[in-house]
C-alpha cells in the first residue's frame, strides 16, 4: 500500500501526476465498482492536499445519490437541477467554485466548506454521476485540479464497471 504521508510530501505537480497512476492500478487490480469508487475517493481525499471532502454522487434515474466518499457525512440526495453537483451533471462540464458563499446554488453539506470542484463522470457500464471535491481553503481549485479530475473521469469511463 502507498504511504500517503510521502505522497503529500511530494511537489504538487509530481503528486497530481501520480494520483491517476495509482487509480489506474486500482482499476486494473479489482473489478468491483463499489470497491474501486471507495478507494478512488480515498486516493483523492488523501492525495490532493487541502481537501475536506472527496466522493461521488451517482444518478439513480431521478436524482444524484451519495456514493463512496471520504470526509464528514454529507447530503444523500441532490436533484439534478440543484447545487453545484447538479450544475456540473446537467452541463456535463467541470465546475470550479472559488468561494461557495458567493454562489446561491451551492448546497452546504458542511458549513466549513469554502471552495468546491465538481466533474461529471460516466462509468464504463454507462452509470453517470459526478466527482465532488470540497476544501476549506478559498480559491483552492485550479486548472490542475480540473485536469486531474478529467484524467480520473477518463479512467472511470474506460475501466470502471
Residues near ligand SME (CB under 6 A): 53, 74-75, 78, 83-85, 106-107, 109, 116, 132, 134
Question: Residue with CB nearest ligand SME?
Answer: 83
Report in angstroms how near the CB of residue 43 gets to ligand SME at its nearest: 17
Q: CB-wise, 109 or 121, nearer to ligand SME?
A: 109
Q: Which helix (H) or strand (E) holds 115?
A: strand 115-122
CA-closest candidate to residue 144, choices 49, 2, 32: 49
d(CA 41, CA 27): 13
CB of 156 to ligand SME, least distance (A): 18
Return d(Cα 81, Cα 66) in angstroms, integer.
Answer: 16
> Whose Cβ is closer to ligand SME: residue 74's or residue 151's?
74
27/51 with CB nearer ligand SME: 51
Q: How far is the CB of 53 from ligand SME (least distance, A)?
A: 5
Name the helix (H) or strand (E) containing 23: helix 12-29
For residue 21, give Cα distances in angstroms to 2, 24, 37, 72, 158: 12, 5, 15, 26, 14
To the nearest whole angstrom, how small is the minimum distance from the Cβ of residue 84 to ligand SME? 4
Amino acid at each position: 500500500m502507498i504511504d500517503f504521508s510521502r505522497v503529500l510530501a511530494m511537489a504538487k505537480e509530481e503528486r497530481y501526476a501520480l494520483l491517476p497512476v495509482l487509480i489506474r492500478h486500482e482499476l486494473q487490480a479489482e473489478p468491483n465498482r463499489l470497491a474501486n469508487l471507495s478507494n478512488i475517493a480515498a486516493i483523492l481525499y488523501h492525495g490532493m492536499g487541502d481537501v475536506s471532502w472527496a466522493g461521488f454522487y451517482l444518478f439513480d434515474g431521478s436524482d444524484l445519490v451519495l456514493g463512496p466518499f471520504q470526509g464528514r457525512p454529507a447530503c444523500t440526495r441532490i436533484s439534478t437541477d440543484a447545487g453545484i453537483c447538479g450544475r456540473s451533471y446537467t452541463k456535463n462540464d467541470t465546475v470550479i467554485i472559488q468561494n461557495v458563499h458567493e454562489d446561491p446554488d451551492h448546497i452546504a453539506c458542511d458549513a466549513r466548506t469554502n471552495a468546491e470542484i465538481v466533474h461529471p463522470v460516466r462509468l464504463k457500464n454507462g452509470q453517470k454521476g459526478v466527482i465532488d471535491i470540497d476544501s476549506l481553503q478559498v480559491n483552492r481549485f485550479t486548472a490542475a485540479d480540473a485536469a486531474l479530475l478529467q484524467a480520473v473521469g477518463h479512467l472511470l469511463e474506460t475501466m470502471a464497471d
